[in-house]
Amino acid sequence: MADTRTKPLAKTEEKSVAPFERWRPFENLRAEIDRAFHEFGPTTFGRMPAAFSRELPALDVVESEKSFEVSAELPGVDATNVDVTLADGILTIKGEKTETKEEKEKNYYLSERRYGSFRRSLELPRGIDSEKIEANFLNGVLKIVLPKTAESQEKDRKITIKTA
């Protein structure tokens, strides 16, 4: 009878790994790119750099006694490329910016095109008179006046504060 204590119970094979399976340059590159986007993400100086994101227009909303006024900065956007809609209490501003640059010189020809679209939506409070909404566009600034209904203007009342 053979001595089984000196022989292994199961034969093990060492698997050889091809060199390209050990060296993963694209995984390292992706990790570096992910790190760069994380470091220069939205938390850097409060906003994401333009190179990494599509810029959304800055909005200001001001409430007065009789209306709300929404102002949107849209530099470089033509008024014909802006749409303002109101549906189910949601005000939507959308548009598209296109820019073309072309230079022809003796030694070179340069042609660049930039484009991008944006869309901002705001839920409006109750009491907006949707029939009287006005929008004006001047010098790259869109102003939308949202008048309040007479009923919503009357609902507001000042509450006196008593001191104990």
* Residues 92-132 pLDDT 10s: 999 988 888 888 888 888 888 878 888 999 888 888 998 99
CA angle 73, 76, 82 (to 5 degrees): 65
Q: For the chain, what are the domain ranges? A: 18-53, 55-155
The CATH architecture annotation of domain 55-155 reads Sandwich (2.60)
37 vs 41, 44, 50, 52, CA distance in Å?
6, 10, 12, 8
State the alpha helices, DSSP H only, in 40-138: none
Please give the model's pTM, rounded to 2 decimal places. 0.57
* Residues 27-70 pLDDT 10s: 777 777 777 766 665 544 444 444 444 567 888 999 888 999 99
**Residue 13: is its pLDDT beyond 90?**
no
